[in-house]
Amino acid sequence: MKIIKAKDYQDMSRKAANIISAQLILKPNSVLGLATGSTPIGTYKQLIEWYNKGDLDFSQVRTVNLDEYKGLEPDNPQSYYYFMYENFFKHINIDLKNVHIPNGLEEDPIKECNRYQDIISSLGGIDLQLLGLGNNGHIGFNEPGNCFNKIIHCVELAQSTIDANARFFNSIEEVPRYAYTMGIGSIMSAEKILLIVSGKGKAQILKKVIEGPILPSVPASILQLHKNVTIIADQEASSLLDQKLLD
């Protein structure tokens, strides 16, 4: 695990965008695994800025998103498709045919999970997977549990996740209870993983993820076993880490 300390949210976002840019320079048709949420917004903004300057080209990039709420249409402002389109895709020269997000409208979980797994396989796997960290240690929507879920699956969201995501909805009742998500196995099979973490609220869980035992009750702790994972944490998020790890 390579752990990089950033000064603040902006510095974290810039550093993450630098790593993604380097990936696209090395392999212009990379398969990027992408995440939604508050954490990557600054990273997407920075990438858009460099694209506007003419420094980045997304024309050959393929993307697969981690997850999508079950039951939301792509044009629902709370859907992850909408989030990705508004915060990233509509600002860059990506071909929307190369954009992949689980279909929240598919009722049949087996059908949708098979379809999405086939897409990832047909793309040849993920070159670089961007991740945020849930307050409860989840990655994607792999919630704390008794085992690590390997493949893409339909998950019932933990109450703590519903509470955390309620800020984006008019009321907590509107937060969907189910989502499609890449599994821990899908995430771990990415060539490279980039986890970005920001804010005091994530300090405790980040310490467990990096320094604690590998447990399904802390899903992101499995990243300790990945051969190429970079964590960029801002000062607040990294404040409880053993400082020796950061030198």
Which residue numbers are catalytic? 67, 136, 138, 143
**Binding pattern to ligand F6R, positions 29-68, x when CB under 6 A?**
------xxxxx--------------------------xx-
# residues contacting ligand F6R (CB under 6 A): 14
Which is nearer to ligand F6R, 144 or 244 (by Cβ)?
144
Instruction: Round to whole Å and give the CA distance between 150 and 95.
Output: 30
Which is nearer to ligand F6R, 39 or 230 (by Cβ)?
39
- Interacting residue with ligand F6R among 5, 70, 138, 226 (CB under 6 A): 138
**Binding pattern to ligand F6R, positions 67-86, x when CB under 6 A?**
x-------------------
Is residue 155 a contact partner of residue 149, using CB atoms and an 8 Å limit? yes
**Binding pattern to ligand F6R, positions 86-125, x when CB under 6 A?**
----------------------------------------
DSSP 27-71: -TT-EEEE--SSTTHHHHHHHHHHHHTT----TT-EEEESEEETT
User: In the complex, what is the shortest distance from the CB of residue 247 to ligand F6R, in angstroms, rounded to a whole number?
Assistant: 27
Instruction: Round to whole Å and give the CA distance between 247 and 239.
Output: 13
132 in contact with ligand F6R (CB under 6 A) = yes
Amino acid found at 5: K
Output the CA torsion 35→36→38→44 (10° steps): 70
Which is nearer to ligand F6R, 60 or 109 (by Cβ)?
109
Instruction: Please choose, out of 7-15, 42-50, 139-147, 210-218, the segment that lies near ligand F6R by the rule CB under 6 A.
Output: 139-147
The dihedral region occupied by 143, where left means phi > 0, alpha psi between -120 and 50, and beta the remainder, is beta
Which is nearer to ligand F6R, 36 or 238 (by Cβ)?
36
**H-run or E-run covering 124:** none
**What sections of the chain are H helices per DSSP?**
9-26, 41-52, 80-87, 109-122, 159-165, 184-188, 203-211
Which is nearer to ligand F6R, 132 or 176 (by Cβ)?
132
Residues that bind ligand F6R (CB under 6 A): 35-39, 66-67, 132-134, 138-141
